[in-house]
Amino acid sequence: MKIIYNFSAGPAMLPVSVMKRVKEEFNNWKKLGISILEISHRSEQFMEHIYDIEMDLRELLNIPENYKVLFCHGGARGQFSAVPMNLLNTNSNPDYIDNGYWSHAAFVEAKKYCSPNLIKVQKIVNNNVYILPMHDWKISTKSSYIHYCPNETIEGIAINEEPFFNDKLIVGDFSSTILSRVINIKKYGIIYASAQKNIGVSGITLIIIRNDLLHTKNIVIPSILDYKKIAKHSSLFNTPSTFSWYVSGLVFKWLKNKGGVKNIQNINTVKANLLYNTIDKSNLYINNIDKNNRSYMNVTFKLSNYKLNKIFLEESLENGLYALKGHRIVGGFRASIYNAMSIKGVKKLIEFMVYFENKYG
Ligand SMILES: *Cc1c(COP(=O)(O)O)cnc(C)c1O
């Protein structure tokens, strides 16, 4: 079989060894003679499995004792609603940092429940995009929390600074950056991420939440979005997405074997630098995001000659490079290079980009 390198933004590629393991034990999980798809979420074996998953995740991310780990439904978009529903029991309105598509979408959803302050931090100067440094963000004195997205998956814009807003409560949508680099969990009240980028397959949503925030008094909140309830039931209030949860456990084991988050961060940096260097050296490929704000998970670029767009996409696919098309709202191209993408895969892409520029550029 021809090797395909999959640059999909999500659902994204999985480590090959994880796929292999899923296949091997698919009909006969833990030698029970049944599939992971067929077992009760309350069975001894499944409960044991999810306990291990949490322990592995706690180790990988160095999650402090006073934080709960929840696995729930609804994806990141579910959290766009859950966050304001759970946190708003005062009259103060939250600050929503707008640094791209997803952070803006979170703001739009929050507007259903409160009057969030929209704080735009994306600037365009001489055609270059950059994000205001955090100390220039116009945070309100009374806001109940600050929401932002450290990696905007669609535009390929990242905020790598650690938040420092005294004792303000910080909520982060980490969907496309969780586990790709070391983070200081203590800086956050809530971190959430949907699974289909760096955690596993779609269907489950990770929440890391400080214990003191499990306090909602809001009675109109749907139970499956109620952090207090989910925590009380150890994420088993209703039937979870068992398969997705199981796969995330295999991915965490894989990551531990790779040397953990610190090690994958180094690999991710190498991958992104290789790609951005190729783009910056070329006359055909353009990325106009400030170097400090370039995502190393989602590398976006345009062709200076847009007439070549179609043929770039066709030929890249013929060369085994899958899903390089940019998101429809920004156009151009996007290579999502999450943890599972190898340096070899990135080098294949670069090889093709250089060949293509020589041929048509
Ligand atoms: C993918 C993504 C989302 C949407 O996730 P769903 O699981 O589809 O709700 C939200 N935010 C970010 C940063 C994403 O990358």
Cα of 28 to ligand 1 centre, how many Å? 32
Cα of 305 to ligand 1 centre, how many Å? 31
Question: Quick one: 251 and 332 in the same domain?
Answer: no
Question: Quick one: 101 and 179 in the same domain?
Answer: yes
Confidence bin at 166 (pLDDT 50/70/90): confident
Question: Quick one: 246 and 140 in the same domain?
Answer: yes
Per-residue model confidence as pLDDT tens digits over 306-350: 999 999 999 999 999 999 999 999 999 999 999 999 999 999 999
Question: Quick one: 81 and 229 in the same domain?
Answer: yes
| Closest ligand 1 atom number to CA of residue 78 | 9
Cα of 306 to ligand 1 centre, how many Å? 28
Q: What distance in Å separates the CA atoms of residue 226 and residue 214, rounded to the nearest whole number?
A: 9
Question: Quick one: 344 and 231 in the same domain?
Answer: no
Question: Quick one: 206 and 267 in the same domain?
Answer: no
Question: Quick one: 103 and 132 in the same domain?
Answer: yes
Cα of 48 to ligand 1 centre, how many Å? 29
| Mutation probe of ligand 1 site: the residue of 71, 77, 336 with most atoms within 8 A of C-beta | 77
Bridge partners for 194 per DSSP: 205
What range defines the domain where residue 299 resides?
260-360
| Closest ligand 1 atom number to CA of residue 202 | 7
Question: Quick one: 264 and 240 in the same domain?
Answer: no
6 in a structural domain:
no
| Mutation probe of ligand 1 site: the residue of 71, 73, 83, 102 with most atoms within 8 A of C-beta | 102
Per-residue model confidence as pLDDT tens digits over 114-150: 999 999 999 999 999 999 999 999 999 889 999 999 9
Question: Quick one: 47 and 31 in the same domain?
Answer: yes
Which of 205, 225, 257 is where one domain is finished? 257
Confidence bin at 90 (pLDDT 50/70/90): low
Q: Judge whether residue 1 has pLDDT over 80.
A: no
Question: Quick one: 58 and 207 in the same domain?
Answer: yes
Question: Quick one: 123 and 63 in the same domain?
Answer: yes
* In contact, 150 and 174? CB cutoff 8 Å: yes
Tell me which residue has its CA closest to atom 12 in ligand 1: 175
Q: Which of 22-31, 207-216, 241-250, 254-263 has the lowest mean pLDDT?
A: 207-216
Cα of 175 to ligand 1 centre, how many Å? 6
pLDDT for 212: 95
| Closest ligand 1 atom number to CA of residue 76 | 9
CATH of residue 333: 3.90.1150.10
Which of 221, 239, 257 is where one domain is finished? 257
Q: Which residues line ligand 1 (CB under 6 A)?
A: 10, 75-77, 102, 149, 153, 173, 175-176, 194, 197
Q: How many domains does the chain have?
A: 2
Per-residue model confidence as pLDDT tens digits over 170-221: 999 999 999 999 999 999 999 999 999 999 999 999 999 999 999 877 778 9
pLDDT for 215: 81
Q: Which residue, among 356, 214, 328, 350, has the nearest Cα to 276 in the 3D structure?
A: 350
| Closest ligand 1 atom number to CA of residue 154 | 15
Question: Quick one: 237 and 312 in the same domain?
Answer: no
Which of 213, 230, 257 is where one domain is finished? 257
The token pair at 245 is: 């949860």
